[in-house]
Structure 1
Amino acid sequence: MIDRPNAAAAQAAGPLVDTFGRAVSYLRVSVTDRCDFRCVYCMSEHMTFLPKPELLSLEELDRLCSAFVMRGVRKLRFTGGEPLVRRDVMTLFRALSRHLERGRLDEVTLTTNGSQLARYAADLAACGVRRVNVSLDTLNAAKFRAVTRWGDLDRVLAGIAAAKAAGLHVKINAVALKGVNAHEISSLMEWAHGEGHDLSLIEVMPLGDTGEDRLDQYVPLTTVRAELAERYTLTESSHRTGGPARYVDVKETGGRLGFITPLTHNFCEGCNRVRVTCTGTLFMCLGQEDAADLRAPLRASTDDALLHAAIDAAILRKPKGHDFVIDRTHRQPALQRHMSATGG
């Protein structure tokens, strides 16, 4: 791929700082809205996906990411859908590894369902990826199939093992689901820590119509933490990964446990993140509809000046926080778009 950072334009524009003084240093990029699973909290079973011509090409994604890197973004996370089902996606990882080599980036990583990790773990490590987040809500094979609708637990576990063998640090992400896995959190944590993996728990987010009632799914992590504290010694940790998780150290397992709490305690005050979809739409907040089209300026010129102007205008509209609520009067999704369309 051609390196087109347009350094002069980027340096003239300066770092990305919103009106609340928060510096944007973390970009999450969805490379596809497609996935080989249909998780009950993320998608409906019968999804309609975007026509492929609407997606940014891998070359365009490289150019877009590079523009953000030149403006002070230090961390890139690739998401989907499932990022590893995007055809030739490793081309993008290889191209962006140049920013790691030149010291412009601290980290390139991804969030994955693990289904393709056995195939790609070694290649990801060769491209400079050092960490991956793997979504895994249960170790019960039948329940895993029910939650993901299409997933194969053994395949995911093989992918996690391949990632570990390739030297990647694995963090397990689990969405806490009432009546599904809430009672399994301790066993999932002990397994993850026993394998040398951190575990982060996530509250259900009210995005998109999945065919499920969010109130029926929702478990406040304040409740989960209180229950765990009756059995384990949890000590506040200073560990940070640049994302929204807040960690505790678990004395009995020797591992770390993270809590991502968009509902019971939002993490907006220190938000350093923006998200770009696979169509080039920039969302300044996961929980708001306001967005900016970056595809048009990206395609309007090979010069990045228009792109930087569009990014600047968008960052100035980054809101103070989101408005997620799940209760008996807010049972419908807060936003109509699915998590898979935004990139978690």
Structure 2
Amino acid sequence: MLKDKFGRRFHYLRLSVTDVCNFSCDYCLPDGYQCDSDRNFLGLSEIRQICAGFADLGTKKIRITGGEPSLRKDLPQIIQIAASTTGVEQVAITTNGYRLEQQVDSWVDAGLNLLNVSIDSLDPRMFESITGHDKLETILSGIKRGLERGLKVKVNGVLMRQYNGNELGAFLSWLKHTPITFRLIELMETGDNKDFFKLNHLSGEPIKQYLLENGWSPVIQNNTAGPAQEFWHPDYQGKIGLIMPYSKDFCATCNRLRISATGKLHLCLFADKGLDIRPYLQQTDTLELQQQLQQLLGDKDATHWLDQGFTGATKHLAMLGG
């Protein structure tokens, strides 16, 4: 079992397979993707080694992220590798949904069972303003197809003062009759968005208080769940969640590690650097990889220090898929 010096156990791996993204979201890549780094992304054999090595150390959930993972033509094979790894119980993907409607069936056929889609606004004009694409309706159609295929669906929206800060009512109306979980994520400061962060950061605490005062109750989470505080209401088919990285003790229940698309272990989304594990992915077995992972985990900090303005090596969220 992967366990750090603070007693936290790590059942959940976020595996980036590309840092390329075709959206230009204002809070992440406002000028679009810039090819300013190594694009020698992990191959299928390396991904197989990662999945096997982590699974042997107790990882039960693997989330495939980007950038935008659907830009890889071999995404169904990547999903199949993760899903067929002994010990892995859940395979998830986080996507901007651009190709969801056309590709979701192939993902399910490959073994996907959890789907996360990014939607920052339910207003088509605001959605296009944020992302640079008029794709909201086709993304919603893709979500509908995912639900029809039996996927558990979560939708992520980044909370921003000047954009969707007044859309809580619209999101709740959507959840009234839609069996998904919608998670509002507090805007996080990164190396490239400091001014944007100052203008647009909103705390999720007032929303949490509103929910608790209006009949919503906390959902009990399992040990592979992400960082969201989720809430349910007897009159709603959907649930709502809040991801509040600036809240007290946010990191105390951390259960996830990250691998970048170029084979670097990130002990935190905001770690000061990635730790190269690629040489250990060329072995015939995973023993050396497992030993290295356990050794490197000893350097994991107690917290991300975001509240002190520390953003580490994370220039933008597309680097590691959040």
Q: TM-score, normalised by structure 1?
A: 0.86
Of 196, 199, 204 in structure 2, the residue corresponding to residue 213 of structure 1 is 196
Q: Is the 8 A contact 2:92 2:113 kept in 1?
A: yes
> Is 1:337 matched up with 2:310?
no
CA distance in 2, matches of 1:80, 1:250: 32
> Is 1:315 matched up with 2:293?
no
Q: Is the 8 A contact 2:147 2:153 kept in 1?
A: yes
- For 1:63, the equivalent position in structure 2 comes to 49
Q: Is the 8 A contact 1:203 1:221 kept in 2?
A: yes
Q: Is the 8 A contact 2:22 2:32 kept in 1?
A: no
Taking the TM superposition and a 5 Å limit, the aligned residue runs for 1:60-209 are 60-99=46-85, 102=86, 104-209=87-192
Runs of 4+ aligned residues of structure 1 deviating over 6 Å after TM superposition are: none
Distance 1:130 1:139, change over 3 A: same
Report the RMSD for the aligned CA atoms in angstroms: 2.2
Larger deviation, residues 168-177 vs 290-299:
290-299
CA distance in 2, matches of 1:193, 1:50: 43
Q: SS at 1:118's partner residue?
A: helix
CA distance in 1, matches of 2:273, 2:92: 26
Give deviations 1:262-301, integer Å, cap 9, x for gaps: 01345211111100010011111112214310113323x3
Q: Is the 8 A contact 1:94 1:127 kept in 2?
A: yes
- For 2:24, the equivalent position in structure 1 comes to 38
Could you tell me which amino acid in structure 1 is paired with residue 130 of structure 2? V
Q: Is the 8 A contact 1:186 1:228 kept in 2?
A: no
CA distance in 2, matches of 1:266, 1:337: 24
What is the deviation of 1:333? 5.4
What is the deviation of 1:96? 2.5
> Is 1:324 matched up with 2:310?
no
- For 1:235, the equivalent position in structure 2 comes to 217
> Is 1:245 matched up with 2:228?
yes
Larger deviation, residues 273-282 vs 46-55:
46-55
The percent of aligned pairs where both chains have the same amino acid is 30
What is the deviation of 1:221? 0.2
CA distance in 2, matches of 1:19, 1:72: 17
Could you tell me which amino acid in structure 2 is paired with residue 338 of structure 1? H
CA distance in 2, matches of 1:75, 1:146: 34
Q: Is the 8 A contact 2:91 2:111 kept in 1?
A: yes
Larger deviation, residues 33-42 vs 53-62:
53-62
- For 1:5, the equivalent position in structure 2 comes to none
Q: Is the 8 A contact 1:172 1:192 kept in 2?
A: no
- For 1:273, the equivalent position in structure 2 comes to 256
Q: Is the 8 A contact 1:193 1:199 kept in 2?
A: no
CA distance in 1, matches of 2:51, 2:82: 8
Larger deviation, residues 150-159 vs 81-90:
150-159
What is the deviation of 1:323? 0.8
Could you tell me which amino acid in structure 2 is paired with residue 343 of structure 1? G
- Gaps spanning 5+ residues in structure 2: where? none
Give deviations 1:217-271, integer Å, cap 9, x for gaps: 11100122334556x3222221446111111222442432111110134521111
CA distance in 2, matches of 1:175, 1:203: 6
What is the deviation of 1:143? 0.6
Distance 1:313 1:291, change over 3 A: farther
What is the deviation of 1:34? 0.9
Distance 1:204 1:51, change over 3 A: closer
Q: SS at 1:47's partner residue?
A: coil
- For 1:54, the equivalent position in structure 2 comes to 40
